[in-house]
Amino acid sequence: MVRLEDLQLFVRTTALGSFSNAAREADLLPGQVSAAIQRLERELDTRLFARSTRSLKLTAEGEQYLPYAEEVLSMIHEGRERLHGAKHALQGTLRIAAPSDLGRNSLLSWLGVFRDAHPKLVLKLSLSDHVTDVFRDPVDVAIRYGAPETASYVALALAENNRRVLVASPEYVQRRGLPASLDELVLHDCLPYVLGGRIYDRWSFPASGVRRQVTVKGVLLCDDAEIARRWAVEGRGIAYKSWLDVHDDVKANRLQILLPDQPGENAPLNLVCPHRRQFSPAVRYLHAHLRERISSMSAAMRDYVSEAFE
């Protein structure tokens, strides 16, 4: 029977690249780690590592077995946390990265309420419109717009049906009129955003089963999405924003939806973790907390746009 300790040493040896490093981490002798790997190989009747005097790397069979070993350890860890999660208060530090607009206008208050409910938990919030690398950057979770681009990380849905919408202030509409179609956007002052030095002035829309791009023009540019929203509220142009970012402004009549019969680009919102093993009780409680609050905002979109969004 496979020993849990041997499985753990196999996974850590793979991550750390040597028996010596894994032994140092586990406070064991390198020979003990080597013996554990050999024991696991005998149990599986296959070689997991190709060994030489200078290198240690997984065999093809080892690479095939690794994700199963990680999943077993993850499930055991999660089961232990679920057993004790209700008995112990959330504690430690949770590092969160989020988009600037959503972060300032919604997350700040939601996270405040979440922290009040878990007073032993420390929250560290980082706001930026740059895409956070959850593997390299010092964060535990990232709140991110867009469909997952890779299966290398795990995404928990917060608003899977969210879309972008065209908005402008009533004052702008009174002054410049309503665009009657996507083609007329080129006649209006628009508010493209800047990311990584690149101007995103090609706005995409689903139309008749294909993706249509409209190149817009604007003289007010900023790399902070919150500023584009504020400029729109001030009547300085048309913005193409996530519904979640402009929900409060539309409800308060500071902004109005343009072309409500034209579906906007999908903009699902997810909570992203590098690996399922990092779904700590704090992450799971945070996901449930945010999803509950976002659900009412997502549902309200139907009151302002046509069924073409569905």
Is the pLDDT at 129 greater than 50? The verdict is yes
Q: pLDDT (tens digit, 9 = 90+) per residue, 36-71? A: 999 999 999 999 998 877 778 899 999 899 888 888
Averaged pLDDT for residues 112-135: 79
pTM for the whole thing? 0.65
3-state secondary structure 26-55: HCCCHHHHHHHHHHHHHHHCCCCEEECCCC
pLDDT on residue 310: 43
Asked if 143 and 155 touch (Cβ cutoff 8 Å), the reply is: no
Give ∠ CA 262-296-249 in degrees, rounded to 5. Answer: 60
Q: Give the pLDDT of residue 35.
A: 94
Q: What is the pLDDT of residue 306?
A: 64
Confidence of residue 87 (pLDDT cuts 50, 70, 90): very low
Domains of the chain, CATH where assigned: 4-85 (1.10.10.10), 92-160+268-309 (3.40.190.10), 164-258 (3.40.190.290)
Residue 116 — φ and ψ, nearest 5°? Answer: -60, -35
| Average pLDDT over every residue of 153-165 | 85
pLDDT over 70 at 308, yes or no: no
Cα maximum dimension of the chain: 79
Please give the average per-residue pLDDT across 242-256, as a whole number. 93
Q: How far is CA 77 from CA 42, 83, 206, in A?
A: 25, 10, 43
Does the structure show a pLDDT above 50 at 183? Answer: yes
Q: Order of strands across the sheet with 141-145?
A: 121-127, 92-98, 141-145, 269-273, 154-159
Q: What pLDDT, on a 0 to 100 scale, did the predictor assign at position 149?
A: 60
Name the token pair of 6: 């041997």
pLDDT score at 193 = 85
Instruction: Identify the burial level of 26 via C-beta atoms within 10 angstroms of its C-beta, where 0-12 means exposed, 13-18 middle and 19 or more buried.
Output: middle
- Structure confidence at residue 88 (pLDDT): 57
**208 vs 17, more confident:** 17
- In the predicted model, what is the mean pLDDT of residues 132-150? 68
pLDDT value at residue 133 = 53
